Amino acid sequence: MMKNDSIGNLVLMSLVVLFFFAMGYMSNAVAEIENYSPITAKVAAEIGLSSASKFIDEPLLFNVNSTDYLSNSGIRSGNNGKRVAWNVFVGDRLGKRKMTFLIVNMKIEEFTYDDALNYEDGFILTEGTFGLNDILIDSSEAIKTVRREKGLKPGNPKLTKDWLIGYHYAVGDAIVANDFKTSLVIDVYGISPNGNFATVTIEQKTGDIIGSSEKVGEDQTGRSIWEAF
């Protein structure tokens, strides 16, 4: 079911920025892998949470995001909702501890750990906000929805303008209403039927598409211009 597209730009305020941050977070490492073991967003989240539980009491997620870690990724990457490489961001409820995992072929390739040394003075890290069971719409289901209802296509690595390779996914909290309330969503990134870089957002608790926007150009200051499609 499709809801009002007018909230699409509000959704973008949260997830598009976080997507670009996460895509570049560990982009220095580029690898060639012969044997692929692609997984969905929820499986990546489970691996990250399991590893984080050794360091953080009651860890929670605040973002799960696919990434173009592999130099031999192709247009079919993410075609079934699965990617080989994911970034998983985990924290505790209070913002005292944070961990970031790069998961490649179902294994932890890299991770970072941060501790809020000045927590008592009000300096906190990003709090975890959702658990594994809150991911009701996995990437393997989301891709079916966005193809059927919005005609989203994968990014073609042979076309420079496409920028991204295949389909990408992000699970996290986003602003989904005019009263600035947040909700857990999954964002699918690809190419719109008009040939533009685009994102389609699905609310986790309802399964509804709540936003679909494409980049149509830039203004005089170089800022991206987004329109609903």
pLDDT at 78: 94
What pLDDT is stored for residue 34 in this prediction?
55
Q: 3-state DSSP helix/strand/coil percent for the chain, to nearest 5?
A: 25, 35, 40
Nearest Cα to Cα of residue 42 among 211, 204, 206? 204
Return the pLDDT at 11: 46
For residues 63 and 171, the answer to whether their CB atoms sit within 8 Å is: yes
pTM: 0.83
The domain spans of the chain are: 5-228
Q: What is the pLDDT of residues 72-107, one digit of tens each?
A: 567 778 999 999 999 999 999 888 899 999 999 999
